[in-house]
Amino acid sequence: MAGYPNYLVIVLALIGAVIACGCMAAGGDETPADRISGNGTVTYIDLEGGFYGIVADDGERYLPADLPEEYRIDGLRVWFTADVAHDIATIQQWGTPVDIVSVEKGDTRRTVAANGTVTYVDLEGGFYGIIADDGEAYLPLGLNETWLVDGKNVTFVARVMEDVMTYQMWGTPVEVIAIDTAGNATFVAANGTVTYIDLEGGFYGIIADDGGRYLPLGLEDRYRVDGMQVTFAGEVARDAVTIQQWGVPVEILDIPWACSRCGGSVGIANPAAVWCTEQGHTYEIRKNPDGSEYGVCIFANGTVVDAWDYYRQTH
């Protein structure tokens, strides 16, 4: 009987290990899946009866379990977001299995806005980069020599050059859209959706993918389409006072990508503009002193009326 206590200890230890493993496994189920997103091409793979995959622009291959029927088109360019499906075995044995979170037709372009420090990098003959405050390294292509000062603190907005290879092999190549001394300006860069706001006579805003609302000053008429998806870069208009009292006023600096067919409610043009032109008149965009814009309807006899006033009076 002298060995009984030792036997009991061993049994209890084993039970404890099993419980611990069970807890660890249960905890693992709560770990969020890895999420990936990017541009890619839908590709038909003629294996195992045939199936559709997505080949991302970086060469990675993804096997979507639930790609919607309308996106099953060989060669279709898409922007997609997906969660990696861990511990999933597939008969296709091709690519990384993923669960689609969202997918849209077309391409997007990445932009970045950040504060950082211009840094001289003593490699490959020496060059200047920008190290952002979050630690990301950017290689600005063609940066004006005025800003090539080691240690200079700057704020900038730039296009990410996705397909550019550089001999420096350092940082992310970017094309600077605007740059200023840190603190002198506030830049914003985001993907978002152009949205018609039926307030104060009607105007167009941009709701960014992260929920931020921006009031674009000087938005070109071709981008005034409710539901149009855009990638944009802008400078916050710090001193602007607008009648709309909606969103953050921004001066649009660049829209490197726009798609009027990528959303569920896209393609709805300004109804006041459509009504004006359908009646045989001329629609024109004009500017207020604060830089905001409004539309007018011009009759053949030269009479000019606010487009929305005309729309309401005739409906």
Residue 17 banded pLDDT, cuts 50, 70, 90: very low
What pairing do the DSSP bridges indicate for beta strands 153-160 and 111-121? antiparallel
- Provide the domain limits for residue 72: 35-105
Q: Is 233 within the bounds of a domain?
A: no
Q: Is 10 within the bounds of a domain?
A: yes
**pLDDT at 66 (0 to 100):** 87
Average pLDDT over residues 15-31: 40
Average of per-residue pLDDT values in the chain: 82
CATH code, domain with 116 = 2.40.50.500
Residues 87 and 46 in one domain: yes
**How would you class 24 by CB atoms within 10 Å of its CB: exposed for 0-12, middle for 13-18, buried for 19 or more?**
exposed
* Residue where one domain finishes, among candidates 181, 196, 219: 181
Residue 106 banded pLDDT, cuts 50, 70, 90: low
Concatenate the DSSP letters of all residues of 40-108 into one string.
EEEEEE-STT-EEEEEETTS-EEEETT--GGG--TT-EEEEEEEE-TT---SS--SEEEEEEEEEES--
Residue 32 banded pLDDT, cuts 50, 70, 90: very low
pLDDT (tens digit per residue) in 167-204: 888 999 999 999 999 999 999 999 888 999 988 788 99
| Total of domains in the chain | 4
Flag whether pLDDT at 128 surpasses 90: yes
Q: Is 146 within the bounds of a domain?
A: yes
Residues 27 and 57 in one domain: no
Flag whether pLDDT at 129 surpasses 90: yes
State the pTM of this model.
0.54
Laid out side by side, the sheet with 282-287 consists of: 282-287, 293-298, 304-306
Q: What percent of the chain has pLDDT over 90?
A: 40
Residues 95 and 53 in one domain: yes
Flag whether pLDDT at 133 surpasses 90: yes
Residue bearing the bigger pLDDT, 90 or 32: 90
